[in-house]
Amino acid sequence: MITIKKYVEGLFMEVPDSQEKESIIQEIVLNLEEKVQDLVEQGKTEEDAINKSIVDFGDAGEIKSDLMPTINGYQVKKNKKINYTNSLWFSIWGSALIISLLLFINFYYSPKVIWFVYPVFALLWWPLALFFRRLNNKKKNYYEK
């Protein structure tokens, strides 16, 4: 029963590969297949039996937490790769547009006094902060207690 096997493997996708993980997956698949066979013998269709056995199985959160490796009492979460590139480009373009607006206002209304430089320094912190956030994200490990 490929559906059950795919379902159970999907539940344990974020758990690192190990022999213990594989044996637990096989055991759960066997138990669910037995339950499906029992339900089919009781007169349910195979699809209904599969759905009922999956629903009755419930959540595998506790089993997954037991399989996750720990370091100094903290469970290691799978490192999620967050892409900050779009945010960085948005901040660069947004800063450029605001800087050009300040430049226009400065030279249109008060060309003798150059004041647009001062808010530009504050405005450049936006893309700079996102740039360093992007760099730090590559090095960061996520832990969950």
Looking at residue 137, its pLDDT comes to 72
Length in residues, the chain: 145
Looking at residue 144, its pLDDT comes to 41
| CA dist., res. 31 & res. 4, Å (int) | 10
pTM for the structure as a whole: 0.48
10-residue mean pLDDT profile of the chain (145 residues): values are 81 80 87 89 89 81 71 55 79 95 95 93 92 76 43
Domain boundaries, the chain: 2-68, 85-144
Decide: 36 and 53 in contact? Cβ < 8 Å: yes
* Residue range 99-113, pLDDT digits in tens: 999 999 999 999 999
Looking at residue 91, its pLDDT comes to 93
